[in-house]
């Protein structure tokens, strides 16, 4: 059993710690309700840095007014057990008012990669993400930060912010950790009913089918039709698809209808769908080996 991490809840505490900290600092930002996907990031950061910091903060500015902020799962005691098990040194878990005191008025926005996909259907989401991550980066000043490719768009947006604002922080994206049946692990999976949980892996299966289609029908028009057909099929199976798109990465440039597709280029097939009241996202990345973020 590892030692429990030291917990900071205020900016004063973490600032004081950072002033004295030495060596390579690794950082994993999360919204808590930790699962094996988060644990994988923590394990990696620990093995690669001298000191590991986990933040747990359900960031209100990245939720829309009709989204699940108030019911987002909170499992703080269990999160601490996972952090201890993974050998995390420090947990930063501030309150909303600590991060956004009364009168808070500064935001940072990436204005290209954040436009399609979740940027389109969740207006303001990425503005909230980039703002909180920049604030956390400023407080923790990590050498390396790890993110999950489960949220591929978030990763590419943050990469661009780091580059554009010359933050000098190394970031890496870690492949999506999945259940045995292919469902991407997510804190939101806890919302699914038994029946929905059985249905949910169909999203990943649909992405895998599209990947196969792309190999056999790389011509733009027939690939576009296969995306449209898959969306229809998922809707018929009880999902409400918000988007199903194939984009070039890292720029996240959507391929237009019928554009010829070079199946050797780095691509992301990204999907967001409601299953009942639960919004699930997933994606697969193709030709990652050629990716230069
Ligand atoms: P969240 O708590 O949902 O904000 O996620 C915190 C970090 O964990 C983000 O970088 C996510 O992309 C990453 N993450 C969430 N789910 C997974 C997963 N299934 N596999 C890998 N990383 C994940």
Q: How many CA atoms lie within 13 A of 209 on its CB side?
A: 16
DSSP 8-class letter at 49? S
Residue 38: active-site member? yes
Given 35, 38, 125, 204, the catalytic residue: 38
Size of the chain, expressed as the number of residues it contains: 293
**What is the distance between the alpha carbons of residues 253 and 246, in angstroms, rounded to a whole number?**
9
- Which of 26, 28, 30 to probe ligand 1 with, by most ligand atoms within 8 A of CB? 30
Q: What is the pLDDT along the chain (293 residues), one digit of tens a residue?
A: 568 999 999 999 999 999 999 999 999 999 999 999 999 999 999 999 999 999 999 999 999 999 999 999 999 999 999 999 999 999 999 999 999 999 999 999 999 999 999 999 999 999 999 999 999 999 999 999 999 999 999 999 999 999 999 999 999 999 999 999 999 999 999 999 999 999 999 999 999 999 988 877 666 777 888 899 999 999 999 999 999 999 999 999 887 777 777 878 899 999 999 999 999 999 999 988 777 76
Ligand 1 centre distance from Cα of residue 258 (Å): 33
Q: How many CA atoms lie within 13 A of 203 on its CB side?
A: 32
**What is the distance between the alpha carbons of residues 44 and 41, in angstroms, rounded to a whole number?**
5
Ligand 1 and 150: CB distance under 6 A: yes
Residue closest to 207 by CA, chosen among 246, 176, 235, 237: 246
Ligand 1 and 156: CB distance under 6 A: no
- Nearest ligand 1 atom to the CA of 32 is 2
Answer whether 0.95 is exceeded by the pTM: yes
83-169-113 Cα angle (round to 5) = 100
CB count, 10 Å around CB of 234? Answer: 21
> How, if at all, do strands 25-30 and 51-56 pair?
parallel
Residue 242, SS3?
A: strand
Ligand 1 and 184: CB distance under 6 A: yes
Ligand 1 centre distance from Cα of residue 217 (Å): 32
- Which of 41, 86, 145, 182 to probe ligand 1 with, by most ligand atoms within 8 A of CB? 41
Ligand 1 centre distance from Cα of residue 257 (Å): 31
DSSP 8-class letter at 57? -
**What is the distance between the alpha carbons of residues 43 and 40, in angstroms, rounded to a whole number?**
5
For residue 37 the two structure tokens come to: 């996907």
């Amino acid at each position: 059993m590892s030692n429990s991490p030291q917990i900071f809840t205020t900016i004063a505490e973490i600032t004081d710690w950072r002033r004295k900290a030495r060596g390579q600092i690794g950082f994993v930002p999360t919204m808590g309700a930790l699962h094996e996907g988060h644990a994988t990031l923590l394990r990696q950061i620990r093995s690669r840095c001298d000191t590991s910091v986990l933040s747990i903060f359900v960031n209100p500015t990245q939720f829309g007014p009709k989204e699940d902020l108030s019911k987002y799962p909170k499992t703080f005691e269990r999160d601490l057990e996972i952090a201890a098990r993974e050998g995390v040194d420090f947990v930063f878990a501030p309150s909303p008012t600590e991060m956004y005191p009364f009168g808070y008025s500064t935001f940072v926005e990436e204005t290209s990669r954040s436009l399609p996909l979740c940027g389109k259907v969740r207006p303001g989401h990425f503005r909230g993400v980039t703002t909180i991550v920049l604030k956390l980066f400023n407080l923790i000043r990590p050498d390396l930060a790890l993110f999950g490719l489960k949220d591929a768009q978030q990763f590419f947006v943050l990469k661009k912010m780091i580059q554009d604002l010359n933050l000098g922080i190394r970031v890496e994206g870690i492949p999506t950790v999945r259940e045995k049946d292919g469902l991407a692990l997510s804190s939101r999976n806890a919302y699914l009913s038994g029946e929905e949980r059985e249905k949910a892996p169909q999203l990943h299966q649909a992405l895998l089918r599209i990947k196969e289609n792309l190999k056999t029908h790389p011509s733009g028009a027939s690939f576009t039709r296969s995306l449209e057909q898959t969306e229809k099929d998922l809707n018929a199976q009880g999902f409400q698809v918000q988007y199903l798109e194939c984009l070039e990465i890292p720029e996240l440039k959507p391929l237009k209808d019928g554009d010829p597709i070079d199946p050797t280029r780095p691509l992301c097939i990204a999907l967001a769908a409601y299953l009942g009241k639960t919004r699930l996202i997933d994606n697969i990345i193709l030709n990652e080996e050629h990716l230069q973020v």
